[in-house]
A and B are shown apart, each in its own frame.
Chain A
Amino acid sequence: MIDPIFLVEAAINGILLGGVLALLALGLNLIFGVLDIVWIAYVDLVMLCMYAIYFLNAVYGWPIWAAGVASLGVGTLLGVGVHLLIISPILTSAPINQLLATGGLLFFLQSFATFLWTTDHKTVRLSLPSYEVAGIFLPATRIIPFAISILAVISLYLFLTRTYIGTAIRAVSQDRDAMALMGANPQRVYIVTSAVGGAMAGLAGALLIIQYSVHPFFGAQFGPLTFMVCVLGGLGNMVGAFIASFIMSEIIAIGGVVISTEMGYVIAFVVFIIMMFVRPGGILARRQ
């Protein structure tokens, strides 16, 4: 029998991992919901932002917060760049071509990063305290990202519901053609969405670099899980994705302790596949 303390620890680790997934899913989900395109290379953009912070902080000696702010800028530029260079020319072609084009971007970024920076793991050193609560260690490097990611979810929610452009974004995600008929310019909405999605990638990079080391295959490590969280939560459904990331991360964390790390992931993926069959619209979708 497994000591309950391990299970509690696993559950807490699951919540912390859930925060990371929620953060990664946030920007992807926004783009996914508005443009109805899967940016397969999204987590690779996060990887680039992590490298940016690493170089600014560890090589050029910027303070970590300044590097983090710069990472938001890098992410925004990347988001707009990907949209203008890759998505925009094929916006009307088959969804599968869009998926494959961003898949090509994934290959490109992953191998170009290998080429430029080798496969070494790069870490930003940061000394933050660790708290002990009832025999369980809670490192600040995981609590801070968790708190900021929840703040980011809330502010994104406010942006989408309380601002004019946010309302426009939601309108486009509901009906692309009707929005154009109303005299709005979908192209502008797409660019803003990609910029916000990119900025979210920058934020995610800033928060992930303090708890994970960065390497060219970072995207391959978290990418699939991130798409699954988005789809499981329901396209463009922020709250759904948030819940889905905790479901997935708890399965992985607890399954990892009870059976083995790989089996934790296997169970999470199988749950995803089954959920796709029974609830294709996401966990919060109402049956039609």
Chain B
Amino acid sequence: MSGRLLAGAVLAFLLALPFVPIGGTRQYVLHVVIQIFLWSFIGQAWSLMGRFGLVSLGHGAFLGVGAYTTTLLWNFYSLTPWIGMLLAVAVAVGIAVVLGIPSFRFRVVGHYFALVTLAVGEVIRLLIIAERDWTGGSLGLTLKTAGSDWSVLAIQFADKRVFYYASLAVFLAGLWIWDRVDRSMARSGLEAIGEDETAAASVGIHVTRFKLGITVLSAALTAVGGVLYAQYFSYVNPDTLSGIGVSLKIVFAVVLGGMYSLLGPLVGTALTTALSEGLRIAFGLKLLGMAETIYGLLLIIFIIFLPSGIYGSLHQLLRRRATKTAPA
């Protein structure tokens, strides 16, 4: 019961955060928190696959497709991102299916799967750059302004608080989906597949269908993350949305926090964001690359000593202690 109470208190705090009088730093705090929620959501989407051994190094592909689909439709056809989002999800799902069916049929697993997804991420990034006539190439693309400070139709708001609540809502929805998957039968099936595909198939688990399902779900959620990213920053760029860099960034934040636990992606994203923002404030541009250096080093250490991540390991420790002290 105390867990539920704590969750309620945290939620109440988060809901009230935009109204806490912290003066001039409010915009900045909100900006950082929005980014944490957004990237945690994307991390959760990734971990849906990652925790079952389907490690994708190409989630940037879905992110880029999501962001660019709505942005291009809005800029050229003035199509509202509400509909654009559906189309973006549809495109991402399409890519996931086209990639997934042959991958799972032909048993492309482990690091082969990782390399295939890596190639897909690069293909999307290069396609965006190659079609520079309408995507703006590597210079990126700015979202056409809706002409007012408050446009629900265009999902453009000058007030950061709107995006704060939107990212919080999306993040909570991500938690809910993660939890649903965690409690479902599909989880057992996918875990069995992750352990041993042949054995899983022999007890009647439909390997391709299960894997495809989780891939499609993960791709769709990542595309939603991409749409939200584009609407919030109102600028999209192939290098910050697709390609290896961003794909690895997603993976690393999740692994750091712990990919097998509900709040792992949040913890990982919060830590990496805090680290890079902190170093940026403390040293400005003098220590260019220092944040990522520490980040890479931490990652190696974590993989070696704490493969289930910070949150995951703490969680295990607490649970072990709880069972030990509990009366028999």
Contacts and interface: CB of A to CB of B under 8 A. Distances in A.
Contacts of A90: 303-304
Given A103-B248, A107-B296, A276 B116 contact: yes
A110 B300 contact: no
Contacts of B126: 262-263, 265-266, 269
Contacts of A280: 106-108, 112
Contacts of B288: 114-115, 118-119
Interface in A65-98: 86, 89-90, 93-97
B120 to A, nearest CB: 7
Contact of B304 (A86, A95, A110, A223): A86
A277 interface: yes
A228 interface: yes
A51 interface: no
Interface string A200-212: 0000000000000
A265 B123 CA distance: 8
B307 A93 contact: yes
A228 B112 CA distance: 10
Given A95-B111, A101-B304, A224 B252 contact: no
A280 B304 CA distance: 29
Interface string B103-127: 1001110111011101110110011
A144 interface: no
A220 B292 CA distance: 15
Interface in B258-304: 287-293, 295-300, 302-304
Interface residues of B, number: 46
A260 interface: yes
Given A115-B290, A224-B122, A96 B55 contact: yes
B244 interface: yes
A118 B126 CA distance: 25
A227 to B, nearest CB: 6
A277 B108 contact: yes
B307 A99 contact: no
A101 B307 CA distance: 10
B296 A108 contact: yes
A269 B123 contact: yes
B129 interface: yes
B287 A115 contact: yes
Nearest to B120: A273
A227 B116 CA distance: 10
Interface residues of A, number: 47
Question: Which of the listed residues A86, A96, A228 has the most CB atoms from chain B within 10 Å of its own CB?
Answer: A96
Interface string A144-172: 00000000000000000000000000000
B297 A96 contact: no
Given A269-B119, A280-B108, A86 B114 contact: no
A38 B115 contact: yes
Contacts, number: 141
A106 interface: yes
B245 interface: yes
B299 A103 contact: yes
B110 A108 contact: no
A25 interface: no
A231 interface: yes
A228 to B, nearest CB: 6
Question: Which of the listed residues A90, A101, A216 has the most CB atoms from chain B within 10 Å of its own CB?
Answer: A101
A111 interface: yes
B251 interface: yes
A112 to B, nearest CB: 5
Interface in A214-249: 216, 220, 223-224, 227-228, 231
A126 interface: no
Contacts of A93: 307
B10 interface: no
Contacts of B153: none
Given A110-B292, A114-B288, A224-B244, A277 B300 contact: no
A89 B115 contact: no
Interface string A17-35: 0000000000000000000
Interface of B: 53, 55, 99, 102-103, 106-108, 110-112, 114-116, 118-120, 122-123, 126-127, 129-130, 244-245, 248, 251-252, 255, 287-293, 295-300, 302-304, 307
Given A107-B293, A269-B126, 13 more contacts: A38-B111, A86-B300, A100-B299, A104-B298, A105-B296, A106-B296, A114-B292, A118-B288, A262-B126, A265-B122, A273-B116, A276-B108, A276-B116
14 contacts: A93-B307, A95-B110, A96-B53, A97-B307, A100-B255, A100-B303, A103-B299, A104-B297, A104-B300, A108-B296, A108-B299, A113-B289, A273-B99, A276-B106
